[in-house]
Amino acid sequence: MSRDISFEEHVSYAEKILIDLENNNLTLEAAVENYTEALARIKLAKKILEDAQNKVEIIERRDLDGVSTKKTKTKL
């Protein structure tokens, strides 16, 4: 599985697998294999989401630090 796949693609693929599992159209072996694949996709999607959240937090901290510094300088 490539890391180049988007968050949305991982989630969509995992949802498709889960729908297939709910429809009981798979053998037990196929169901276990697909379940494992769905979990792997969800894990990758979670990592992408966490990375995005970290980037947003860094941007917010940087911007808020700049705002508080500017406010302090203008008050003096």
Question: How many domains does one find in the chain?
Answer: 1
Query: Is 38 contained in some domain?
Result: yes
User: Which pTM was predicted?
Assistant: 0.70
CA torsion sign for 16, 22, 50, 37 is negative
pLDDT band at residue 69, thresholds of 50, 70 and 90? low
Summary mean pLDDT of the chain: 86
Query: Is 19 contained in some domain?
Result: yes
Query: Is 1 contained in some domain?
Result: no
Query: Is 37 contained in some domain?
Result: yes
| Whole-number Å distance between alpha carbons of 29 and 40 | 17
CA distances from 51 to 1, 14, 27, 72, 76 (A): 18, 19, 36, 32, 38
Query: Is 69 contained in some domain?
Result: yes
pLDDT at 68 over 70: no
